[in-house]
Amino acid sequence: MAFSINTNIGALQAYNALAKVNAQTEKAQLRLSTLKKINSVADDTSGYNVGKQLEAQTLVQKAQLNNIASAKNFLSTAESALQQIADKLNQIKAKQIDAKDPLKDSAAIADDIRTLAKEIDSILKSTNINGTQLLASTDGSTSLSASTFDVGGSSFSVDFATSSYLDVNTLATAIGSGSGLQNSTDSTVLNYNTDTVATNVRNALLRIGNLRQTLDSREEYLTAAIANNTATISNIFDADVAMEQLNATKGQIGAQIATAMVAQMNTAPQQVLSLFR
């Protein structure tokens, strides 16, 4: 065994081991402090890239869930209004039948029908969300733009005024303040055929049910996707606290031992002095 004083190889090796142990201990302590497994891109470049893509996707999906909530609010508001209109149309139909009783005052019944028609007209014009008209514009026209939502996949449109399956054009025209039911003569009011508009309202309500089913399905899918993405992101980024605590404790013990060994290796060359006694 050669003795070298100028270069203490053993001490250098012990020092390198100490530096390595300290680096591993610091990494474990940092992970415990942040509760994150990846604190730098260098920790796991592939995991970081995949995790950040999943985080972006999850944020988009959460926004789409919010859109679904808004779309459901639109549908619920329109459904409530259309149900009220359906009830009033039923009342109009009943009053028209009642007017055929010769003992009833047909003029008074006609006034009742006009009152119901005005209420329907008011519902059509006042049904809105945050200023967006759903069934008819405030002037009674039905040229409304569809409300479109991004709920994942294809866009989702809510359009009650112009869509063929949610057509309230006939209703708005018949009940509106122009030449419709409100201003018709008593005979026209009493003989007015409510079947067409009532059918349109029922069809609209049925379609709302179908649209709600679509939204429920999309909501279920997005909720599951977000949960799965969140679990994957956690697996990529979150630290295993128990394991990191073990690593930190092991590193601290190892650092103490390595420090002692560096001290011993630094004093080892002093043994050569015994040769000069």
The string of pLDDT tens digits covering residues 107-149 is: 899 899 889 988 988 888 888 888 888 887 777 555 667 788 8
Q: Tell me, yes or no, whether 255 lies in a domain.
A: no
Backbone angles phi, psi at 11, to 5 degrees: -65, -40
Q: Tell me, yes or no, whether 65 lies in a domain.
A: yes
Q: Tell me, yes or no, whether 247 lies in a domain.
A: no
Q: Tell me, yes or no, whether 22 lies in a domain.
A: no
Of the candidates 179, 113, 111, 110, the one whose C-alpha atom is nearest the C-alpha of residue 140 is 179
CATH number of the domain residue 214 falls in: 1.20.1330.10
Q: Tell me, yes or no, whether 14 lies in a domain.
A: no
Instruction: Specify the number of domains making up the chain.
Output: 1
H helices of 127-240, in order, are 169-175, 186-191, 195-237
Q: What is the pLDDT along the chain (277 residues), one digit of tens a residue?
A: 555 666 678 778 878 888 888 888 888 888 888 888 888 888 889 999 999 999 999 999 999 999 999 999 999 999 999 999 999 999 999 998 998 899 999 889 989 988 998 898 888 888 888 888 888 777 755 566 778 888 887 778 877 665 555 556 666 666 765 556 777 788 887 877 778 778 888 888 888 898 899 999 999 999 999 999 999 999 998 888 888 788 888 888 888 887 888 777 777 666 666 666 6
Are 28 and 255 in contact by the 8 Å Cβ rule? The answer is no
Write the CA distances from 139 to 124, 125, 132, 178, integer angstroms.
10, 7, 14, 10
CA distance 124 to 117: 11
Domain of residue 116, residue span:
46-235
Write the CA distances from 172 to 127, 136, 146, 186, 197, integer angstroms.
13, 7, 17, 20, 9
Q: Tell me, yes or no, whether 142 lies in a domain.
A: yes
Of the candidates 160, 117, 114, 158, the one whose C-alpha atom is nearest the C-alpha of residue 136 is 160
Q: What is the dihedral of CA 144, 150, 156, 157, to 10 degrees?
A: 0
Q: Tell me, yes or no, whether 229 lies in a domain.
A: yes
Q: Tell me, yes or no, whether 196 lies in a domain.
A: yes
